[in-house]
């Protein structure tokens, strides 16, 4: 019997045809090989539409070598493509729409604002959302700063902690604000204290050329002065059911208002960090349970709203009282956080689960729901 075939859809990083996660894919191919799943890697640029064939990147676990082979379209596609400003990305959009009828384990989600609005329709999720507005004018900024001492300004389509400002109204002043953050290229800006009118000008400038969210800031500063949050990964398992894979803490770099690993953050075990933060084992367990339930329900809800998903990472902010807030959800998560926090069994689980799910889907001939909305 022929083996089921899974194609990992990705994008080249540059014209040298380098791939960002090639070593991750190698591991997935090796694991797939053990499980009876034939896995190859391809990008939209490797698809020959008239031939209906793919000039795929294949890895041979026996020789340890990558090579190119002409392959038929796979039975299932695991889409790892993240948004990028390039012709390659436009080509991807054309691929997704032309081959919409193929079986995708996961469909693209929408931008942070649309996801926020979708969640906020449900009281179940609304309680876990920081108050958020789409920035239109200074009035939005001032409205939020009246209600919250700290706000975050972030791009609706941002990733990796880029283009994020943290604005704090200084205590004991009516209108002096502290601004810190990272530019779109992730460089840390020089922190400064500014008047309200200066702030309005800076924010107006910051938001040129894109849509930005103004969001209630959740207090996440550790006693070390660094900011932290939690990354939770939920995935569909080998029975097609959502399951928690793991959760890790992320501690930002010094002088960084974001905790992303790519911005110099480091990963720690969630239980340890959370226990230090909340002060007791009981509270930690309770919050972890609540977070798990939230993550699983959020994934199922987003899948219903936007189309098939096989995994979802949630960036969770947990305040000192143990209230949980969803800062963002990520349908194409890196798994490095588990390797970096020293949790190698969770890391492995994170790699293997999408393969187990693909096998389950193939055996059950289930077709996950197709995209429910058009991409912007």
Ligand X SMILES: Nc1ncnc2c1ncn2[C@@H]1O[C@H](COP(=O)(O)OP(=O)(O)O)[C@@H](O)[C@H]1O
CB of 24 to ligand X, least distance (A): 19
Vertex 237: Cα angle to 231 and 243 (nearest 5): 45
CB of 315 to Mg ion, least distance (A): 4
User: Where on the chain is the footprint of Mg ion (CB under 5 A)?
Assistant: 315, 328
Q: Contact between 75 and ligand X (CB under 6 A)?
A: no
Map residues 224-243 to x or -, x wherever contact with ligand X holds by CB under 6 A: ---x-x--------------
Please report, as residue ranges, which positions from 311 to 330 form the binding site for ligand X (by CB under 6 A): 315, 317, 327-328
Selection from ligand X, Mg ion, none that 229 binds (CB < 5 to 8 A by kind) is ligand X
CB of 259 to ligand X, least distance (A): 4
Q: Which stretch binds ligand X (CB under 6 A): 65-73, 157-165, 195-203, 336-344?
A: 157-165
Q: Contact between 108 and ligand X (CB under 6 A)?
A: no
| Residue 160 or 322 having the CB closest to Mg ion | 160
Strands (E), the chain: 5-9, 38-42, 47-48, 53-60, 65-71, 76-79, 132-134, 150-155, 164-169, 176-182, 192-195, 212-216, 228-236, 242-251, 266-269, 311-318, 324-330
Other C-beta atoms lying within 10 Å of the C-beta of residue 320: 11
Vertex 53: Cα angle to 52 and 57 (nearest 5): 155
Size of the site for ligand X (CB under 6 A): 23
Among the listed residues 5, 28, 199, 220, the single contact to ligand X using CB under 6 A: 220
Residue 376 three-state SS: coil
Q: Which stretch binds ligand X (CB under 6 A): 40-48, 150-158, 172-180, 300-308?
A: 150-158
78 close to 41: Cβ distance less than 8 angstroms = no
Q: Which stretch binds ligand X (CB under 6 A): 101-109, 189-197, 209-217, 286-294?
A: 209-217
CB of 145 to Mg ion, least distance (A): 23
Q: Which stretch binds ligand X (CB under 6 A): 15-23, 255-263, 280-288, 344-352?
A: 255-263
| Rounded CA separation 175/194 (Å) | 8
Instruction: Supply the DSSP symbol for 75.
Output: S
Q: Contact between 215 and ligand X (CB under 6 A)?
A: yes
Give pairs for 268-274: CB < 8 Å, separation 24+: 268/341, 269/341, 269/342, 269/343, 270/230, 270/246, 270/341, 273/228, 273/230, 273/249, 274/230, 274/249, 274/318
Binding site for ligand X (CB under 6 A): 130, 152, 154, 158-162, 164, 215-218, 220, 227, 229, 258-260, 315, 317, 327-328
């Amino acid at each position: 019997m022929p083996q089921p075939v899974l194609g990992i859809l990705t994008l080249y990083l540059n014209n040298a045809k380098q791939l960002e996660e090639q070593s991750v894919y190698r591991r997935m191919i090796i694991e797939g090989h053990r499980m009876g799943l034939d896995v190859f890697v391809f990008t939209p640029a490797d698809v020959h539409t008239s031939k209906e064939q793919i000039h795929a990147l294949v890895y041979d676990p026996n020789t340890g070598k990558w090579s190119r082979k002409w392959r038929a379209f796979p039975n299932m596609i695991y889409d790892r493509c993240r948004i990028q400003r390039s012709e390659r990305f436009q080509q991807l959009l054309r691929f997704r729409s032309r081959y919409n009828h193929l079986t995708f384990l996961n469909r693209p989600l929408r931008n942070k604002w649309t996801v926020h609005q979708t969640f906020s329709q449900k009281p179940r999720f609304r309680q876990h959302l920081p108050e958020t507005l789409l920035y239109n004018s200074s009035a939005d900024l001032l409205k939020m700063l009246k209600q919250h001492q700290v706000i975050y300004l972030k791009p609706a389509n941002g990733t990796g902690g880029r283009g994020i400002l943290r604005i704090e109204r200084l205590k004991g002043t009516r209108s002096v604000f502290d601004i810190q953050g990272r530019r779109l290229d992730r460089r840390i800006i020089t922190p400064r204290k500014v008047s309200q009118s200066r702030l309005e000008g800076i924010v107006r400038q910051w938001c040129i050329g894109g849509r930005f969210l103004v969001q209630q800031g959740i207090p996440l500063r550790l006693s070390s002065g660094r900011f932290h949050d939690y990354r939770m990964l939920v995935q569909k398992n080998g029975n097609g059911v959502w399951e928690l894979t793991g959760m890790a803490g992320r501690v930002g770099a010094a002088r960084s208002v974001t905790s992303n690993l790519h911005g110099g953050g480091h990963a720690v075990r969630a239980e340890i960090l959370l226990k230090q933060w909340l002060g007791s084992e009981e509270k930690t367990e309770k919050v972890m349970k609540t977070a798990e339930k939230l993550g699983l329900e959020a994934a199922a809800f987003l899948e219903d709203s936007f189309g098939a998903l096989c995994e979802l990472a949630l960036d969770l902010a947990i305040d000192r009282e143990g209230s949980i807030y969803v800062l963002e959800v990520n349908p194409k998560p890196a798994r490095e956080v588990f390797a970096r926090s020293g949790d190698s069994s969770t890391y492995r689980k994170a790699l293997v689960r999408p393969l187990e799910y693909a096998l389950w889907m193939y055996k059950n001939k289930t077709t996950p729901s197709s995209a429910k909305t058009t991409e912007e």
